[in-house]
Structure 1
Amino acid sequence: MIYIKNGVNGVTEDVLLAYMNQLSARFSPNSLWAKWSMLKSCLEIKESVQIRRFQKVIAFLKRKNERYILRKTKVLSKEQVERFLLDAPDDLWLLAKIVTIFRTFGCCRCDELLSLDINDVEDMGKYVIVTLRQTKNLTTRRFTITDDGCSFQPCTFYRKYVNLWPPRTEHLRFFLTYRYGKCISLNAGHHTIGAVPKQIAKFLGLNEPELYTTHCFRRTGATMVVDAGGDVLSLKRAEGWKSSEIAMSYVDDSINNKIEMSKKLFPGKESTNATPLSFASAASTSGDGSISTISSSKFCITGNNNCTMVFNIYDSNKTEFSNAIQTPNYKTVTEQ
């Protein structure tokens, strides 16, 4: 142990505080919390020391973490994902396309795809059901892939990839190595699947492709869910999160949400540049059974869809609609 090498007889709060202070010169605040977690587990098992009660060390870590900006992986936009899936040739990029589709629709981690078996994917015709059994939260999670609303037809890519499987693949995982337009009986590794975002960034000519790490698709999927109008609950279901804190950070960082909020600060009047609707006639029935007709060229309705409109037709000889408002007697005509 480190305290034995430095001549310290036991683990105290001051000893750990000095040790964490030394580490802070070499590691970022985010890494200090990881070191603290490892020390906590190690000392509890080997030394039976409960360092979780050392409040001075925890306060020191929190102070170091103040105003620290975490360097996160970059995110692919919806347009960039669609452009890659439509423009990249299948003979070279089919495996990368399948990884992109699965990780975008399911917000999957890299390890979750590596453990995916061929029996975990069901083709239902109009959609594909994917079951993730080995997740980080130890809970089974399912998601679907559908062609509805997609310009790139993801189910078509899936079936094309499955048809390239070699025979006797019952014992293999879903993702196989893809070379020169063929799948071989070799499971795709962690680096192959994890490097897909970086390869996409290079294909699209994006800046700093090395910042598109394996966690890129998790953030990309979460951003798409929020931009599509998803709330915290739907985001937690998509990502498989139990806590709302991380989900709230994605909702708060959504550019679309910020734009909608900006529009609410200074709302403008709705546009009225629509072509006026000319009501040639509007009929009403009087008490004696006769039908009177009114014409007006100043009647204009805009922005009404799937609604019920009620028109108050005034029983008057005046043809101007604005003057007819003064007439107290009127009949009501309802148009669906």
Structure 2
Amino acid sequence: MAQAMRKHQPIFPGRPACLLVLAILAACEQTPQAAMPDRQAAAAPVASNATDEFQTMAFNAGKDLIGTRAPTLSFRTIDGKTVRLGEPHAARPIYLKFWATWCVTCREQMDAFKADFARFGKDIDVVAVNTGVNDDLAAVEAYRRDLQLPMPIAIDDGRLGEAFHLKVTPQHIIIGRDGTIRYVGHLEDERLQRELQAAIAGQPASRELQVEARPTEGLGWGASSPGGAFTSVQGGQVRIDGPTQGTVRLIYFLSPWCETYLKDSRPAMARKCKDTREALTRVASTGGAEVIGIASGLSADVNGVRRFLRRTGFAAPIVMDTDGQLFRRFGVRSFPTVIQLDVVGRPSRRLGVSEIDALASQATA
């Protein structure tokens, strides 16, 4: 996804540091091209000194993970195989690649990923982990058939993304035989190749300097918000919890790049994002509901949200959910999603465009 965005603007969404699907910056905001056609041969790795903002995001997201033990958890592939992580004496290292069917850069890297599996698969456990964001089993199976993916595939239920600070797609995780996390990155480059070979050889984890950490705006990894108060991207204070004081409160889960990045590769999804935003603008303008936006941190940062606000004129406050804690708290795995809260601030129902418009009609009746 990142690479397609790069083709349109200097810095996607300013491709943030490692804020917690893309610095949605300009790149996402511009209309990225559709998924690239399959290439005949695996792409040559990018030079390890290449500058890439999404690599920076992945590095920053994983900077606190390197050298720590992977979480002790297990998951199943779509073919029923169990994969266990965090075991201190594993027989082989593990290479996880997070991806999505709608991610252009993921598709661009798939030939190289297949080559990696052919080259290293006998010495390292390789799993293609679909993020589970705006994807389902049918889409994943169709993608596997179309691209003839030979490696095991799993669909994340949210636990892996949370554990490994999923920030961009694709995102690479390498875990050593001792169960410690050795590498977190984004590019299919020489650095990735070196890290895979080092993990297989059992060499000490690289101390190679990655990037300088940048300040995180929004809810960062492990951050909490005392009393349920949040600072919006626009700068005001927002409360999600608590009584609604008689006003319908709608929580709008969004991605700043959905309307533009997915316009060609997933037009129906992009249209749904646009229609939902416009319906929420209508209901807010009539006073039919209080709208609070929660922006996904997947491949996005506050700069991308600000671009989204300028481009669309959307006026409701938006909180940057850098590490996805609010998406997880409300059980949201796709965007756009709109949840209505009850009078005491608890989730009561999910609304589509027609239900949102009904609220606007009631307010003007």
Q: TM-score, normalised by structure 2?
A: 0.25
Q: Which has the larger radius of gyration?
A: 1
Q: TM-score, normalised by structure 1?
A: 0.27
